[in-house]
Amino acid sequence: MSEDCLLYIGGEWVRSDSGRTFASTDPATGERVATLQEGTPDDVDRAVAAAAAVAPRLRRSGVETRAGWCEAVAAAIEAQAGPLARALSAEQGKPLAEAEGEVVTAALGFRAAAGHVRHLDGTITPVSDPDKRVLSRRVARGVYAVVTPWNFPVNIPTEYLAPALATGNAVVWVPAPTTSHVAVLFTRIIASAGLPAGTLNLVTGPGPVVGDAAVAHPDVHGVGFTGSSATGAHIARRAAGKAQLLELGGNGPTIVLDDADLEAAAVAIASGAFFNAGQTCAATEVVLVERGAHDELARLLADRVRDVVLGPGTDGDTTMGPLNNDGVATKMDDHVADAVERGATTLTGGARSGLFYEPTVLSGVPPQARLVREESFGPIVPLVPVDSAEEALDIASGPEFGLVASVWSRSARRAFAVAEELRTGIVNINDSSTWWEIHVPFGGGSGTLSGTGRLGGMHTLLEMTEIKTITFGTSSF
């Protein structure tokens, strides 16, 4: 049954000034899941004002108060885990088991932030005057605009909201339109932990309208954004002068050397490519395999594909759900057609029915193919044969992404030689490109299209605070 949802501003559930609404739908059936408020820049103004009003109180609050809020949110998530996971599966499309895992991780994220903030230590800098004391401590930046995508509608917001709450920042959150019902449910859960009004505000609506207004707002001090590289570049300009934590696209190159454990590699590659139907920034998007291992890896991967059960996420047997929206599906069609035109062979899959895209493996994909050079964001494994680790590195560094990578070899020397050269924020050796835990530093290599800054544990707390230095002479009073 479709639910009528409101904005959350200053501790109240309210209608948008626009008087307009939009629908979010179940990608498996096309049925309406919820009716959402189409927010406006005026709604964003009200949300920023509410956040700004509470920011001084948050900044002055004690660490145990903030840690306690985070722990209360974690407990509230756990208490509502079942309904939240079911709503997540229905609106985003992912299998229920993956949705349940995402919700468990979110509770962990709030607990971890509570733990980390108690150790957000400052420094005392020695100076030439022995009487002088130079105290530096980390303080909240103030008001954050947080704009998030639809692929992990609970975990990605958690990566920002938990550290923001722990450090005493107030937030205006703009979620992706296609997963805004989950955002409303998640906001309800967070608000039930008894935060001061205005600490978290939710404005649903089109990103180019409400997201843009939030990141550019003069009373916003910091921006947390996860999404595509193109939107990230736009936001970086609009939010010039503010603190920016940008988590953008990736191309997940996985390099398989000919001495690798191919069975283990095939399992990890399939999981990295098909988890969340490939709609993961860390997904295994390209496999660069030394020629001697290409055919065996292709055979093993085809075996893994047979295990995939494609269906609605809410069905108990499903291991891979539909794509979330038409934009991703069309991109997949274009990328596969381009690779086949350039001479690649479709070993399995390559077709779709509505948003249900078959798990797909292509062999002999040339490095110039769009599948190799761009982010596909779907359940596809393009196998690119290479003559050497050097050629693999050369191809992997061609696309301008730098988020995650994976290397497979039984030789620590060879694996590390490749891992050290890759310009990505993370390289997972002998594991999937998607291996991750919520406190592990995560983000793009500098100067790439994958963003700036690091999410994860203490790293986000550092990003969301600034250093405030107060100096005094001990004999000056």
Which chain residues interact with ligand NAD by CB under 6 A?
Answer: 147-151, 156, 174-177, 207-208, 211-212, 215, 226-228, 231, 234-235, 247-250, 281, 375, 377, 403, 451
Own/partner contacts of 291-294, CB < 8 Å, gap of 24 or more, are 291/258, 291/385, 291/386, 291/387, 292/258, 293/256, 293/257, 293/258, 293/260, 293/262, 294/363, 294/383, 294/385
Query: Based on CB atoms, which residue is closest to ligand NAD, 330 or 411?
Result: 330
CB of 178 to ligand NAD, least distance (A): 8
Query: Based on CB atoms, which residue is closest to ligand NAD, 227 or 457?
Result: 227
CB of 147 to ligand NAD, least distance (A): 5
Amino acid at 168: G
CB of 281 to ligand NAD, least distance (A): 3
**Residue ranges in 342-379 assigned as alpha helix (H):** 370-373
Query: Based on CB atoms, which residue is closest to ligand NAD, 293 or 404?
Result: 404
CB of 12 to ligand NAD, least distance (A): 23
Q: Are 146 and 224 in contact (CB under 8 A)?
A: yes
Query: Based on CB atoms, which residue is closest to ligand NAD, 122 or 208?
Result: 208
CB of 250 to ligand NAD, least distance (A): 5
Distance separating alpha carbons of residues 276 and 323, to the nearest angstrom = 8
CB of 412 to ligand NAD, least distance (A): 28
For β-strands 451-452 and 222-226, DSSP reports them as unpaired
Distance separating alpha carbons of residues 299 and 187, to the nearest angstrom = 46
Active site residues: 247, 281
Range list of β-strands (E), 253-409:
253-256, 286-290, 345-348, 352-353, 356-357, 360-363, 380-386, 404-408
Query: Based on CB atoms, which residue is closest to ligand NAD, 94 or 414?
Result: 94
Token pair of 242 as six digits: 């503010």
Q: Are 467 and 454 in contact (CB under 8 A)?
A: no
Distance separating alpha carbons of residues 23 and 42, to the nearest angstrom = 21
Query: Based on CB atoms, which residue is closest to ligand NAD, 116 or 234?
Result: 234
Residue of minimal CB distance from ligand NAD?
207
379 burial via Cβ count (<10 Å: 0-12, 13-18, 19+) = buried
